[in-house]
Amino acid sequence: MTATAEAAVKPRTVVLAAAFALAAVVLALVSLSLGTTKLPLDEVLRALVGGGDSGTRLIVVELRMPRVATGLLVGIAFAVSGALLQTLSRNPLASPDIIGVNSGASAAAVGVIVLAGTGGGNISGAAEQIGLPLAAVLGGLLATLIVGLLSIQRGVVDASKVVLIGVGVAAAANSLVAWLLVIGDVTDAGRAAAWLAGSLNARTWSDAVPVGLAVALLLPVAMMFGRELEALVLGDDVASSLGVRVSRVRLALLVVATVLAAMATAGAGPIAFVALVAPQVAQRLARTDRPPLLTTAMLGALFVTLADLVARNGLQVLQVGPYELPVGVVTAAAGAPYLLHLIGRQQKGR
Amino acid sequence: MWAVRRVSRPVALILVATVVVLTFAASLALGSRWLGLGAVGHALLSPDGTDADVIVRSLRLPRTVVALVIGVCLGIAGALMQGHTRNALAEPGIFGVSAGAALAVVLGLQVGLVETVGSTVWCALIGALVATFAVQRLASRGSGATPVGLALTGAAVAAMLGALTSAIVLLDANTLDGYRFWAVGSVAGRGFDVVGQVLPFALIGLLLAAVNARDLDLLALGDDVAAGLGLSVRRARLVGLLAIGLLTAAGVAACGPIGFLGLLSGHVARRIFGARNAWLIPAAGLTGAAALILADLVGRLVGGAGEVQAGVVLGIVGAPLFVVVVRRRAVAL
């Protein structure tokens, strides 16, 4: 029986979290060493602690580090967002990409890129650094709000409707995105399209820092709700008999999940399937009855870093050419079959 | 089902056809410059090169005819899909079919296979058929296709195909400019040549749909009953699948992936004409035509200097409809 409201931390989840974190760091170091200029790992390490020659430091700390850091952080943010949504809705298919958060954030962010774009592919500093993340967060929140309100039947949010209505809202937001791409200048449209694919290309610290702040503030908040999440898994009635204020907790965690997903989308575009896959894999490996938050977070960081490594170097290794793929293509190629597998299992379970 | 049948079906069909004629006339008369029906008639019957003649004949007539033909194709494709999958949410845009067609078109563009709309049709056809088949098969594992399973499988397949499409588009910057205008779904700038190229596919698709209509009534009783009544279930499904693929491909190749048109037409037609496919399918075609012409017209009128593409108008109208269908629990046919 796991039916206690105690948020007992299993040693297995801690070991897994540490292993994923270690693997993510190692891959991040590998990622720092690869590129047009290949650097040995010891030079990378030396540059990170402030040593080595200034050229190496420039490449590692100024050019490659922001990209790698953004990848780690958006991985954490998407994964935790997915874990929260899946726990809250008790549905393994609920994730910000499926229920419209990412589409809402995308529509708003593409709106900023296209409408504030100068036509030269660049938007002015304020619009880019404040406008884009802010728009993405508001767009994501708005989409969640719409999905939530429309899913209310007889006074309660009908969990079975959330996913389907999310699909509908996402479709509407996507047609808005297609229209924005058309009315924009071709260079802005290209920038928006690259962003939409989910890319870590040419990230700077101004991309990484907002996501980092969101993670630093909201991951602890989510972890503080461990006991409530544990109770919610058992059902609303049990949870409220255990003293959990179900609707208030649900609302608070829904906001946390939405802001995390929207901030991550603002930082790196709507990278597909991380939020869906990471919690499910972490839950299975940890053998828990809900996605363990910290393990999921570390797995998300590992997943995105690995996918970006493949996206950057995959085509070169296959000798197709000097191209880089957007990271979202790799996560989609890995994540979509997994989603299909989940749907198949859920149908068999009926 | 809840058909509102105050008038007989033939009368209702004539009424719907009248709506199509009215929207067609409105589409010729209205736009950034409003023309009277006299001017439209003059342009159609005895043109002598006035401004109004040129506007009607070379700008408005071609796109309206395209909207008419493609509206019929996508409306019927939607109704067929809803019938064959027994799923009220079935429609090419939601089921990943359009995404499959889009990927195939972009692949064709990339390898230099596609230069004309004629060759786009072949790519779109193959992509649409493969995606239809794949989604149907993937969603039917286990205890059979449920509405939720189908919608989610379609979303998953669409997401994956969409990611591949965007990867190709991004690697080849030249493709992006053409692709973004195609991807939004529009009839603007499409002319009679486009209609001519997709017409053979559309006609074969319509023929197959007509053949399939009666079989679909039997299939609605359940596969076992249909087989007991002497129907070859496999063949009927295959014919239906081919019709859906051909009609969707014709539509997608000509106008890009216009979403929600099939959903809208199928539901409106079912509401008015009930579940009998011999009535439902032609009615869905007419409804689709009226809806696409109207969406194009609305997009032209609200756009001001630019215009809002028909695909966007339908997306904004169609998504709320999707939500209504989902909320009503009328999910199973």
> Is B197 within the bounds of a domain?
yes
Minimum distance, in Å, between the CA of residue A16 and any CA atom of chain B: 28
- Residues on chain A touching B255 (C-beta within 8 angstroms): none
How many CA atoms, within 13 angstroms, populate the side-chain half-sphere of residue B267?
Answer: 22
Q: Do A348 and B142 touch (CB under 8 A)?
A: yes
pLDDT of residue B171: 73
Q: Over the stretch B292-308, which tens digit does the pLDDT of each residue have?
A: 999 999 998 987 667 88
The DSSP symbol for A8 reads: P
* Most confidently modeled range among A174-188, A257-271, B284-298: B284-298
Give the pairing of strands A156-157 and A152-153: antiparallel
Q: Give this complex's ipTM.
A: 0.75
Distance between A90 CA and the closest CA of chain B, angstroms:
16
Which pLDDT does position B320 carry in this prediction?
84
Please name the member of A183, A326, A343 whose beta carbon is closest to the beta carbon of B167: A326
Residue B105 clears pLDDT 90, i.e. is over it: no
The per-residue pLDDT for A38 is 84
Model confidence over B23-55: pLDDT tens digits? 999 999 988 788 888 888 888 888 888 888 888
**Can you tell me the mean pLDDT for B287-295?**
95
Q: Determine, for residues A193 and B169 on separate chains, whether the beta-carbon distance falls below 8 Å.
A: yes
Can you give the pLDDT at residue A159?
A: 66
Q: Determine, for residues A189 and B156 on separate chains, whether the beta-carbon distance falls below 8 Å.
A: no
Q: Over range A177-205, report the average pLDDT.
A: 84
Q: What is the pLDDT of residues B59-83, one digit of tens each?
A: 899 999 999 999 999 999 999 988 8
Identify which has the larger pLDDT, B300 or B181. Answer: B300
Confidence bin at B169 (pLDDT 50/70/90): confident
Task: Read off the pLDDT of each residue in B280-286 and give the average, rounded to a whole number.
Answer: 94
Predicted confidence at residue B6, as pLDDT, reads 63
DSSP conformational letter for A153: E
The whole-number pLDDT of residue A1 equals 37
The mean per-residue pLDDT over the stretch B239-264 comes to 87
Give the pLDDT of residue B294.
95
Task: Point out which residues pair with A38 in neighbouring strands.
Answer: none
CATH at residue B231? 1.10.3470.10
- Residue A333: which of B155, B163, B315 has the nearest Cβ? B163
Question: What percentage of chain B exceeds 70 in pLDDT?
Answer: 91
With 90 as the cut, is the pLDDT of residue A326 above it? no
Residues of B in contact with A194 (CB under 8 A): 170
In a domain, residue B296? The reply is yes
- B275 pLDDT more than 90: no
Asked if residue B197 has pLDDT above 70, the reply is: yes
B311 inside 8 A of chain A by CB? yes
Chain mean pLDDT for chain A: 84
- At residue B38, φ and ψ (nearest 5 deg) are -60, -45
Q: Which of A164, A182, A339 sits opposite B151 (nearest CB)?
A: A164
Q: What is the pLDDT of residue B333?
A: 42
Question: Is A330's pLDDT higher than 80?
Answer: yes
pLDDT of residue B326: 76
Return the half-sphere exposure (C-beta side, CA atoms, 13 A cut-off) of residue A118: 8
Average pLDDT over residues B88-105: 82
Longest alpha-carbon distance in chain B: 66
8 Å CB contact of A343 and B152: yes
A36's tokens: 């047009």
Q: Does the pLDDT of residue B329 top 60, yes or no?
A: no
* A275 within 8 A of A140, measured Cβ to Cβ: no
Contacts of A153 in chain B (CB under 8 A): 327
Q: How far apart are the CA of B163 and the nearest CA of chain A, in angstroms?
A: 5
Q: Rounded to a whole number, what is the distance in Å from the CA of B132 to chain A's nearest CA?
A: 15
Report helix, strand or coil for A123: strand
- pLDDT one-digit tens code per residue, A311-321: 888 777 776 66
Q: Flag if B312 and A153 touch (Cβ within 8 Å).
A: no
Q: Do B183 and A343 touch (CB under 8 A)?
A: no
The answer to whether residue B176 is domain-embedded is yes
Contacts A–B by Cβ distance under 8 A: 154
**What is the C-alpha to C-alpha distance for residues A239 and A253, in angstroms, rounded to an integer?**
15
CB contact under 8 A, B149 and A343: yes
Higher local confidence (pLDDT), A87 or B122: A87
B138 in contact with A, Cβ within 8 Å: yes
Our CA dihedral for A126, A130, A133, A134, rounded to 10 degrees, sits at -120
Question: How many structural domains compose chain B?
Answer: 1
Q: Kindly list the residues from chain A whose CB atom is less than 8 angstroms away from the CB atom of residue B252.
A: none
Q: Please report the pLDDT score of residue B293 as a whole number.
A: 96
Whether B331 has a pLDDT exceeding 80, the answer reads: no
- Whole-number pLDDT of residue A181: 86
* Residue B332 φ/ψ, nearest 5 degrees: -95, 140
Pick from B93, B159, B318: which is nearest to A332 by CB? B159
Interface test with A, best of B98, B110, B136, B148 (most A CBs within 10 A): B148
Residue B111: what pLDDT? 75
Is residue A233 classed as helix, strand or coil in its secondary structure?
helix
Residue B223, pLDDT score: 81
Asked if pLDDT for residue A4 goes beyond 60, the answer is: no
Between CA A328 and CA A29 the distance in angstroms is: 21
**pLDDT at residue A340 tops 70:** yes
pLDDT confidence of B207, banded at 50, 70, 90?
very high
The residue that leads in pLDDT, B172 or B226, is B226
Name the pLDDT band for A104 (thresholds 50, 70, 90): very high
The confidence score (pLDDT) of residue A15 equals 94
Q: B212 vs A195, which has greater pLDDT?
A: B212
Between CA A213 and CA A132 the distance in angstroms is 16
Residue B3's pLDDT band, with cuts at 50, 70 and 90, is very low
Interface residue B312 vs chain A (CB under 8 A) = yes
Region B298-324: what's the mean pLDDT?
Answer: 84
Q: What is the mean pLDDT of residues B214-229?
A: 87
Of all residues in chain A, the percent with pLDDT exceeding 70 is 89
Of A192, A200, A24, the closest CA to residue A115 belongs to: A192
Residue for token pair 């809803």: B82
Test mutation, B152, B174, B296, chain A, max A CBs within 10 A:
B152
Residue B332 predicted with pLDDT over 60: no
pLDDT band at B142 (very low <50, low <70, confident <90, very high): low
How far is B6 from A276, CA to CA, in rounded Å? 48
Mean pLDDT of B195-211: 92
Distance from CA of B272 to the nearest CA of A (A): 24
Q: Is B310 in the A-facing interface, judged by CB distances under 8 Å?
A: no
Mutate: best of A91, A106, A163, A164, partner B, most B CBs <10 A: A164
pLDDT value of position B144: 58
- Residue tagged 């924009």 (tokens): A184
Please choose, from the candidates A177, A221, A173, A192, the residue with its C-alpha nearest in 3D space to the C-alpha of residue A77.
Answer: A221
Distance CA B27, CA B48 (A): 21
Subunit contact A344:B141, Cβ cutoff 8 A? yes
Q: Is residue B333 part of a domain?
A: no
**Nearest residue in B to A181, CA atom:** B180
Question: Whole-prediction pTM value?
Answer: 0.81
| B7 near A CB under 8 A | no
Domain membership of residue B23 (yes or no) is yes
CATH entry, A3-347, from 3.30.499.10, 3.40.50.720, 3.60.15.10, 1.10.3470.10: 1.10.3470.10
Look at residue B217 and tell me if it is in a domain: yes
Of A7-11, A49-53, A73-77, A132-136, give the lowest mean pLDDT range. Answer: A7-11
* Domain ranges across chain A: 3-347
Structural domain span for residue B32: 3-328
Torsion over CA: B235, B237, B238, B242 (sign): positive
Distance between CA atoms of A5 and A7, rounded to whole angstroms? 6
